[in-house]
Amino acid sequence: MPRIYVLLFAVSVFAAACADDKPAPRKRPLTEKQMRDGSVKMHSWDRQRQADEIEQYIRRQGWQMETTASGLRWMLLKKGSGTQLAKPGEIAKVYYTIKLMDGTVCYTSDKDGSRSFVIGRDDVEPGIHEGVQLMHTGDKMRFVLPSHLAHGLTGDNAKIPPLASLVCELELLKISQPE
């Protein structure tokens, strides 16, 4: 007999819950600020994850690298004879090798020839623009670019996938003034 009372009680509670005519409150769409804050939070989490992966990679390679405020890692491989650092607006001519962290070579001047670009202006990875400004003519440096200093969320739609960190070696051949 007590089971019937429990069953009746459960059915009556269920019936009362179903009889409530109030619609469930509608969720308001996220505000632009909420979306931006969420994106910033996700992006900072991903930047930290990438920084940790890069740090482990550098340790495995046995490299001693410096880090800039933006997260660019760099090390001098060969000291050049130049006396002045490259500056924004100048034209840099470089030999380069750009690889993924798994060792896949994406682009190289061995195949494509040297490259010239206006520092801070031309279509080159932001980390390359930053890195070349640490160089004197003749310097050869190795850089590790987190994805936000490389091709970011989209990759380059060719050889570099989305969110890829890059290992770049640059030799600064010449700095000149634009004409």
Q: What digits encode the pLDDT tens for the residues 46-92?
A: 788 899 999 999 999 999 999 999 999 999 999 999 888 999 999 99
Q: Which of 98, 90, 160, 162 is nearest to 128 (CA)?
A: 98
The confidence score (pLDDT) of residue 5 equals: 55
Retrieve residue 44's tokens.
């900072």
97 has pLDDT over 60: yes
Average pLDDT estimate for 113-134 = 93
Q: What percent of the chain has pLDDT over 90?
A: 63
Sign of the dihedral through C-alpha 103, 106, 111, 116: negative
33 has pLDDT over 90: no
The confidence score (pLDDT) of residue 22 equals: 59
- For 65-176, give the CATH class: alpha beta
Bridge partners (DSSP) of residue 29 are none
0.85 surpassed by pTM: no
Q: Which of 109, 99, 112 is nearest to 142 (CA)?
A: 99
